[in-house]
Amino acid sequence: MQKPIPLWPDGAPGALGTSSNDIPTLTPYLCESNATRAALVICPGGSYVRLAPHEGNDYALWLNQHGVTCFVLKYRLGSSGYHHPAMLNDAARAVRWVRAHADDYKIDTKRVGIMGSSAGGHLASTLLTHFDAGDTNSADSVERQSSRPDLGILCYAVISMGEFAHKGSRENLLGKNPSPDLVKQLSNELQVTTNTPPCFLWTTFEDKTVPMENTLLFAEALRKNHVLFDLHVYEKGGHGMGLKDKPPFANPHPWAGDCLFWLKEQGFVN
């Protein structure tokens, strides 16, 4: 793990102040050996009110063991007064930043994915469905990069802002009384297109916090749009369990092995 890097050296657009909570950052986690030149931007969960370390730091350390360079995103939160689109802006900037600095980290610009859990999974799915090609006329070399991830990993993700929404995440993201149009725009199962990147999705039958319907709705939307995906619904395991193990990860949950198999098929791990 290296020191956090501010995504905007001169301050983030729409920042409400200059405290740590107002400065989105990326923390690089570099591979000690056998790097595959693939990278993942990781969005920890926490209901858009906090960031869970085990869904950031631990994922990065685990993926480093398999040759994937990781960047853990500290994005702005509803608990600090932010709402959409601040979070999406941070995630998009993160993917652009990694591509703009690919040579520095020996990364292939065509193998940059995004990963998120719970509300961080919502943020990841938002970028997977709301990306753009970049501004080729920008004076900022980062902004000239595409924000489209090459793949997505969604762990027990919040997806919908509708019937199956996690109410806390919705309020922290959209405010107390969002318009129907905004609810639809951020219900990401409604925003999938044929250009949405391939995804690995998993959830558990026992999840009482974020209903499994979130994951199933997104998978169905991917299928209808002919987007490749790998879907796993495990019987056991509540919400927020992450790897269900601590470094050095001697006994992670089976989703980890399934995800590595899929990442190998995508050319992200050897």
Handedness of CA 61, 65, 71, 75 (dihedral sign): negative
Count of CB atoms within 10 A of residue 178's CB? 18
- pLDDT at residue 238, as a whole number: 84
Other beta carbons within 10 Å of 11 = 13
Phi, psi of 28 (to 5 degrees): -75, 140
Quote the pLDDT of residue 3.
96
pLDDT on residue 188: 98
> What is the spatial distance between Cα 37 and Cα 108, in angstroms, rounded to a whole number?
5
Per-residue confidence (pLDDT) for residue 237, from 0 to 100: 83
pLDDT of 163? 87
Q: Which residue has the tokens 């916090």?
A: 209
68 sits in the region (left: phi over 0; alpha: psi -120 to 50; else beta) called beta
Which residue shows structure tokens 């990963």?
Answer: 115
Would you state the pLDDT for residue 164? Answer: 87
User: What is the third-level CATH fold of 5-265?
Assistant: Rossmann fold (3.40.50)
In this prediction the pTM is 0.97
Q: What are 44-91's pLDDT values in tens digits? A: 999 999 999 999 999 999 999 999 999 999 999 999 999 999 999 999
How many whole angstroms separate alpha carbon 121 and alpha carbon 171?
16
Q: How far is CA 219 from the centre of its chain?
A: 16
Q: Which of 165, 234, 230 is nearest to 201 (CA)?
A: 230
- pLDDT for residue 34: 87
pLDDT confidence of residue 252: 95
In the predicted model, residues of the chain with pLDDT beneath 70 are: none
